[in-house]
Structure 1
């Protein structure tokens, strides 16, 4: 009791005269103010009372996998192990070859000369390239190649509107792609396919997210007391390849393939992941350009993030070994056709402009007679 009285007398007079409840609040406020380590002016006091201007340490965001409440023991190759590994090593974009790399080789084979069987084989290869080449090339990556997950659109120069050139007072200011909305539509198609193919429990979470997203869109223009927060946001769209304007500003049909590239931020407050949309020109049958989209997801109350961990792990890799084998078989067929048409005694080496090859003895007689003349 004597110590409490001494401590009370040590306080300022204005604090000692306050009632007990106010007194306790004042003491708590005083202790809180003296224990503040980072004042508002970015200065701090050390133990000796001197003031230093050391830079403020940024607040560390708590990672989802740093929380012990959510940690679980998993064996090598489990869901969380795959997730962590992919966070460290995002899969880069492979090199996509245009259809001309195959059609030119087949054309040379036809120019060298083909019999009936070889001509039929060349026609089969060309049909395969014309029909399936975009799918076979995208099979090199982890993109979704299911036609239900792709987005098809048409770039029509004759029907361009203000979305192409919003302001024409400076003429046409070139940009990487004339219609960025194609990228957004491809991302939405990707999310629809993820929801449609998800397991029943995860599908319910996707449906609830979609429902809240639509509700946010419907009340966005209304003045309500408690505005809603959308679960999904598209933060940025960045085109990674500077395609020539002649290639992108031409009337053509395009098909967009989407893949999950990397997860940059994953905690209890929000999740930031990046999708890459690869656009393929169906007119020239070759890769057109690629865009990277940053997507922000804010977790729903009561749902947690375990379901999203499983879903993102499922969407990390959609590469199909059967598609890779299909591409390898096609390229092997081209090589076999080249060997059969080039390595034969009757091949036309200057692509059809010369006469068929003759016997070496006949060639020697012709050369000798030409010298005698």
Structure 2
């Protein structure tokens, strides 16, 4: 026989509705203050124009929310509560990439509606080329990408990042038609171009065939020196590799890219035509991060309200069905 100790004062009794709240819920409490970034690899601080954000959720926040909704349904829901559950689940299914990447400051095609800082023409062009050029979208993992350990080889992650980086840089040519030729030449060795100085890859979880991945890029520092109006000879970038199967971050890369003059054989400052668009991109990243975090907070509140209307209310009684025929 198992002897259970009496609960301490103030603690819920085992089996009561309040005792069912999972620990993962604590990872989604909303806050009116912006997240503080502890290093250059964390999400950028949202702009001050955002009125509400959410604290950083854990890596499994999407699965946790789905699990919490499932618990509500298992406990027993009426027709209206089932409809609310379906609405939240549909939003998670449709928006998970935009929310997961956007909350870390990565601009995705689906979140371009936050483009307050883009001109109307650029906004339309961004929508037209976004699905192809914003990074590496919906890339199918090949069986040959795996090694003898049964997961995708570590070097493949960097190849994915490389392809996404080129797409990300070339998409600026579509946003800036007047300088499209110069943008494309940045990827060649004719005059001014880019050279990778360093790359650090952080692996979060293994990827196994079959799967689909998406890769997005963002600036981790502004291209203009804050102490002056001149541009820097570096691009500080970060990529985010998402696994569609698990709806999680599989890896990130932190990169330093040098602006290089191949004719003079030396590094040089970022070309003048590129600085304005990179500057707007930096600002837009802040807007995107704030809006994605707000949307996550909305979904979290919707799940919390559903819980309070089902198993987490005072008079909650679990629906065990009926024995009547």
Indicate the larger mover: 105-114 or 263-272.
263-272
Per the alignment, residue 260 of structure 1 pairs with: 219
**Structure 1 segment 1-373 matched on structure 2, within 5 A:** 90=40, 92-93=42-43, 97-98=59-60, 99-147=62-110, 148=130, 149-152=134-137, 153-157=139-143, 160=144, 176=154, 178-198=156-176, 203-204=178-179, 206-211=180-185, 213-214=187-188, 216=189, 228-229=190-191, 231-240=193-202, 242-244=203-205, 247-262=206-221, 271-298=233-260, 305-317=271-283, 318=285, 319-320=287-288, 321-342=290-311, 343=313, 345=315, 347-348=317-318, 354=320
Superposition deviation, residue 117 in structure 1: 0.6
Indicate the larger mover: 229-238 or 257-266.
257-266
Query: Residues 172 and 303 (structure 1 numbering): CA distance in 2 closer, same or farther, change over 3 Å?
Result: closer
User: C-alpha separation between the residues in 2 aligned to 1:344 and 1:273?
Assistant: 55
5+ long unaligned stretches in structure 1: 1-88, 217-227, 357-373
Superposition deviation, residue 131 in structure 1: 1.3
Superposition deviation, residue 339 in structure 1: 0.5
TM-score by length of 2: 0.61
The structure number with the bigger radius of gyration is 1
CA contact (8 A) 2:103 2:293 kept: yes
Query: Residues 120 and 209 (structure 1 numbering): CA distance in 2 closer, same or farther, change over 3 Å?
Result: closer
CA contact (8 A) 2:200 2:254 kept: yes
User: Greater relative contact order: 1 or 2 (C-alpha under 8 angstroms, separation 6 or more)?
Assistant: 2
User: C-alpha separation between the residues in 1 aligned to 2:276 and 2:223?
Assistant: 16
Aligned-residue Cα RMSD (Å) equals 3.6
User: C-alpha separation between the residues in 2 aligned to 1:173 and 1:355?
Assistant: 44
Superposition deviation, residue 116 in structure 1: 0.4
Q: Secondary structure at the match of 2:107?
A: coil
User: C-alpha separation between the residues in 2 aligned to 1:139 and 1:268?
Assistant: 29
Superposition deviation, residue 327 in structure 1: 2.2
Superposition deviation, residue 96 in structure 1: 5.7
User: C-alpha separation between the residues in 1 aligned to 2:250 and 2:278?
Assistant: 27
Q: Secondary structure at the match of 1:330?
A: helix
User: C-alpha separation between the residues in 1 aligned to 2:304 and 2:57?
Assistant: 20
Query: Residues 275 and 325 (structure 1 numbering): CA distance in 2 closer, same or farther, change over 3 Å?
Result: same
Superposition deviation, residue 156 in structure 1: 2.6
CA contact (8 A) 2:233 2:270 kept: no
CA contact (8 A) 2:99 2:295 kept: yes
Superposition deviation, residue 291 in structure 1: 1.2
5+ long unaligned stretches in structure 2: 1-38, 44-55, 111-129
Superposition deviation, residue 312 in structure 1: 2.8
Q: Secondary structure at the match of 2:156?
A: coil
User: C-alpha separation between the residues in 1 aligned to 2:282 and 2:252?
Assistant: 18
Per the alignment, residue 14 of structure 2 pairs with: none
Query: Residues 316 and 270 (structure 1 numbering): CA distance in 2 closer, same or farther, change over 3 Å?
Result: closer
Query: Residues 172 and 154 (structure 1 numbering): CA distance in 2 closer, same or farther, change over 3 Å?
Result: closer
